[in-house]
Amino acid sequence: MDAKLEAKLESLPTEPGVYLMKDRRGEIIYVGKAVNLRNRVRSYFTRTGDTRAFVSLLDQFLGDIETVLVHNEKEALLLENELIKKHKPRFNVLLKDDKQYISLRLDRTQSYPRLEVVRRYEKDGARYFGPYSSASAIRETLRIINRYFHLRTCTDHVLANRKRPCLLHQIGRCPAPCVYPVPEQEYRKSVDEVVLFLEGKAGELVDGLRARMKQASSELKFEEAARIRDQLLAIERSLERQKVATTDFKDQDVFASHREGDRLLVYVLYVRQGRLNGGQAFPLGSQEFPDEELLPSFVNLYYDQGNFVPEEVLLPLDVEEREGLEALLSERKGERVRVMVPKRGEKRDLVDMAQKNAEQAVIERRRTKDETEVVLRRLQERLHLRNLPRRMECFDISHFQGSSIVASQVAATDGEIDKSRYRRYRIKTLEKQDDFASMHEVISRRLKRGQEEGDLPDLLVIDGGKGQLASALAAAKDLGVEGVDIISLAKSRDLEVHDRDEESNRSPERVFIPHRKDPIVLRQNSAELYLLARLRDEAHRFAITFQQKSMRKGNFHSVLEDIPGVGETRKKLMLRHFGSLKRVREATIEELAEVLGPTVAERVHAALHGHPEEDSEDPIREASLADAGALVDEKSEEGSPPGSP
């Protein structure tokens, strides 16, 4: 350690705050917080015989330490959270905001409330239930509720504008408050029962339903009594599957972690109203720093993403920032939240259960990783690749009758789909269809960018045959790119059958590689072929989706945006109000004037009804009209990062 750094360590303050460790190039590699900055930072350098990896890394990487003083632990947690999100240090816990936590929302302030599937908790006065560990779990819950409790499922817009009841009313699963005068008091009974069901309060719910069943039977309403009986049986079966975890019936999140070297996995166990409600594993790599520092950072980031804050948060080990974390979570929830480190009893059993789940998740991920390694090595050997294909990218060209030519790039890292590296391309140099020239342009653009950024994959997979492969190889040669393997994967096709008695069959999937005339046929149903085919099919899906979206935009633009005075804003206003382009065409001038004003309304009406050729049958235009509503507030394709080519 140099003298400048030693002097800084001697002068560190003893107040609470945040410290930023920088490498010798000045890049921030770790952000931490402490109640006493001097004691925390100096502890890294005064522990004799400490064999943990991060201690030796400090001597190798550390170039400087900066500190920021705050008033208390809570402010330190907030500042640490902001700095981690801003700088993304390599040795900090980083949680991606992938919106994967599914919950149910019920707004009881509405006249006829409905359940919504959401991925965010907001302070809007509504009740939230969850999170649910999987989409299948939430589907099963909704299936029971929709079948036996009869809440509406339509949106508020549909509720206000529907003219006749939907199919759900016809099969007896919705009272149709959109059409019929359903008494709100009767509907509220169903809402209250749904809340009891979602809270797991079996006794109160079952007792109430049994009383209603007996009353209906005594009044000779046998059909209603039979319906309530079926409802009771379904609810009892569902609640039997929920294991009671604690006897105090509180909402709790239980955290545990398991480490193997620098690999850390945090597991969150969800307990709602004393019952187990699932769990979620969060694998984290390159986490050299100790668990007692990383765990509070993880908890802070986890709840900062908008996740439900329970009444109690259970941790496996004591952390210095527990009081500050408790104050911060209480502020986010709007009521007291306890952060506890249980030593015995039911709560300790929950922590031990979360710990076992964390260990099992690590074992499963290790097994999956080992299996993937074997598949990648077999693929390398079978296709004579120079590189182990850890980073793979696949390309596909898509067009519609020679127009709207686009390309897709999808990627996989260590055998798993990696949507952060998806890209979309518009073909710039061609006006008519030429798959070979299009592939040459796309691969050239990808490799050129890779050369500039130092980001080249191990393997490029081209969707196509020899011609597409030759175009990709030519692009690599033109740019002088070496060391990247390039292959093409040709789909199976129907074989010609000359004998009428012979059954038609298909050729196998074929892999073409450079400098080899005949294709390589991988064993059907093998893991290697499945890996390539899955990547190729994903590239095809991504390209088709982008091509259809581009086509709809172009056709939709020609219908409305060519009208003087109508731009993107007015186009969206019309679609929001009328719901589709077909309804816009059918609207009268008076109806259009409610949205656009009289002058523009007359102009739009005249333009839409003054071009009879626009009503001619056109498959491209008809497709765009059918999907016009999807263009409102259109978001980028899932997995495609902003700024894609």
pTM of the model: 0.55
Q: Yes or no: say if 184 and 200 are a contact pair by the CB < 8 Å rule.
A: no
The share of the chain scoring above pLDDT 70, in percent, equals 83
Under the banding of pLDDT at 50, 70 and 90, the label for residue 354 is very high
Instruction: Express each pLDDT in 412-433 by its tens digit.
Output: 998 888 888 999 998 888 877 7
Instruction: Express each pLDDT in 375-401 by its tens digit.
Output: 999 999 999 999 999 999 999 998 776
pLDDT at 287: 74
pLDDT at 500: 45
* Average pLDDT over every residue of 190-203: 81
Q: What angle do CA 482, 488, 493 make, to 5 degrees?
A: 170
Under the banding of pLDDT at 50, 70 and 90, the label for residue 532 is very high
| Residues facing 50 on adjacent strands | none
pLDDT at 315: 94
Under the banding of pLDDT at 50, 70 and 90, the label for residue 637 is very low
Q: 3-state SS of the chain: helix, strand, coil percent to 5?
A: 45, 20, 35
Under the banding of pLDDT at 50, 70 and 90, the label for residue 556 is low
Instruction: Express each pLDDT in 226-236 by its tens digit.
Output: 888 887 887 77
The share of the chain scoring above pLDDT 90, in percent, equals 25
Query: For residue 364, which amino acid is it?
Result: E
pLDDT at 627: 40
Instruction: Express each pLDDT in 43-102 by its tens digit.
Output: 877 655 544 455 566 766 788 888 999 888 888 888 988 898 888 888 888 776 444 567
Q: What angle do CA 517, 522, 525 make, to 5 degrees?
A: 155
| Nearest C-alpha neighbor of 5 from the set 63, 67, 69, 48 | 63
DSSP letters, 493-529, are -BPP--STTSPP-BPPPEEE-TT-SSPB-PPTT-HHH
* Average pLDDT over every residue of 473-480: 94
